[in-house]
Structure 1
Amino acid sequence: MVINQCLGAGSRAWERVVDALAAVATKPNHPYHAKRLYKYLSRYPMADRDLQWSEYLRRRYASPTIHRLLTWAEKLDTVNMTRDAATELVVLFSLVLTTVVRSGRDLATKALVLIGEQHPDVLFSHAVACLDFNDPYLPERVLAAAYGTALSLVDSIKAASFRPLLGDLAQKIYRQMFARRARHATHHTLTRDYALGIIEVAQRAGCVNLPKSAVRYLSRPFPNTPSPFSSDGTPDDSVKDAIGHAIQMDFGNYTIGRLIPNRANYDETKPDYVRVRAKIERRMFDLGYRDERFKHIESEIGQNSWDARDENKVSGSRGPFWHSD
């Protein structure tokens, strides 16, 4: 009850409590272990979690426990850990993947691979479970770590015991992401490619048997994948007002603009560009982005990124990436 009251308090109190929870989250027998923190954070809408948890991760001074853990993670290959400890660490490191700081995501991903090489069943189990998480950053990188682990172990001295685990993962990923009526079919290219990579490694190793129809579902145009975009491409002024200037010049002109054939630089009137941009704006709106809630964070990120070393830069404004799943 006291913890719930603190978690409902202001941002600084929230950060202190969460940092304390993160400190004990790696202890399997502690009542506030990592799986409990994961369950708590997974209930947040993505926008709300970004404003609290992901901001806690971005501000180093607010999250000393996490940053100590990431520093320690670089030496994980020399550590022998129990399966129970590995289970908690996999869950906790996966939560770090929601951060906009690229170096933090990279370190957490590396840690997941290193743990996966010691306890692949733990990582693979979480890779399937986290497909339900409502932030594409997280399952994308956990699948990346699972793919890296697969490449590392499939032909190693552990191959005999590892390949059945890989085959089971490939089977589950196929059912969840590609088969008919798959719950987690996605247009997110990186997420899909990591999943395909895992299946391909398993097929090459001869440790998975998929139905003959799988060939159709594992290749373009991926017929079971619904569009995540609710807009028909008609611009909506109320949506534009709500998201403000989240799509800035570089992203709007170059990232979106290069998708449009025969579009001149800075031409915002070309019909195809107008339709694509309207779809992206609506997707951001549907996911909860509102300028009034995020503009102070966007401004702070923009100012700090000018002076940051490359490895500490954030991956740009979070808002534009919200349409990526």
Structure 2
Amino acid sequence: MLGCILMLTGAGAGWMYWQLNDNIQSVDIDNALGDDRPERAAAVSTPSPTASSSDEATPSPSPYPSVSALPAGALNILVLGSDSRSGERNSELGGGNSSGARSDTAMIVHLDSDRTEATVVSIPRDTLVTRPSCPTSSGGSTAVAYNAMFNSAYSVGGPVCAIKTVEQLTDVRMDHYIEIDFAGFADLVDTLGGVTVTTEEDIDDDKSQLHLDAGTHHLDGTEALALARTRHGIGDGSDLGRIGLQQQLIKAMLEEATASDLLTSPTRLYEVADAVTGSLTTDTGLDSLGELMGLADALSGISADDLTTVTMPVVTAPYDANRVVADEPEASELWASLR
């Protein structure tokens, strides 16, 4: 009887693992962009541990996937928040239907080589850039566009064009890509048990449907998403105010993940995977639970105090008061520091 129970448990876990793996959408960035890209950071090889005699016993079967370690060395991961209204829940959370999809949030997550510190660099979506020619799904390519809004790259060419635009802007190789939609972000926060943030001013934004008095609040997923999208109810109403709130949320989420042992517990990671994998798009190097758990393992030694958040230095565009451009030489110095 015990053997039957263990067999059924293993089969159920195996089916769940397959189902969650199947939920993750992926894009083969390396194949799409080829070799015309910035160089990868030099990997540092580490020796494999030698098993001792006490380790030679056959381990007990685990229902969880084995962790696929990420390559040693510094890593740069482009994280995009999509404002797609595809699907009933995304439409509801986004406040109605909207055509197409844009990169509502863009962050480069830089992990240092020893995985003890991380830097998150936000790129304002209203930044005017030279959008490069990008490959299309039909085998053609888009035209180069000058003074194009940064977030238009995703609109015209999806993740591939977004990454190519970031790499041209920064001359920094993006080793991985993660995209999450409205529903996935809200579900992630709910699975963490909510997040605690402190706002320094009242927020009254009908467009994001968020109304908060200044002070400390514990937000559920829907409220946290509204905070991440808020810009009309704070500061001058620009995207820069919203970026400050998003960076505050990232630190709050890392604090919750650390407090709940999320990054070191296979059980908790499975709960998160079950909640968000259907809302994730990654590059092919992160499109399995084992690889995503490898990323969690790389992040497990980093606390909120070890996380630095910055925004790409920008100034108002001289020819459009509603847009910004990179502030040089400060922006180039930032990218050089990541390289």
TM-score by structure 2 length? 0.23
Task: Compare the two structures and name the one with the higher strand fraction.
Answer: 2
Structure ranking higher on relative contact order (CA contacts 8 Å, 6+ apart): 2
More helix per residue: 1 or 2? 1
Normalized against structure 1, the TM-score is what?
A: 0.24
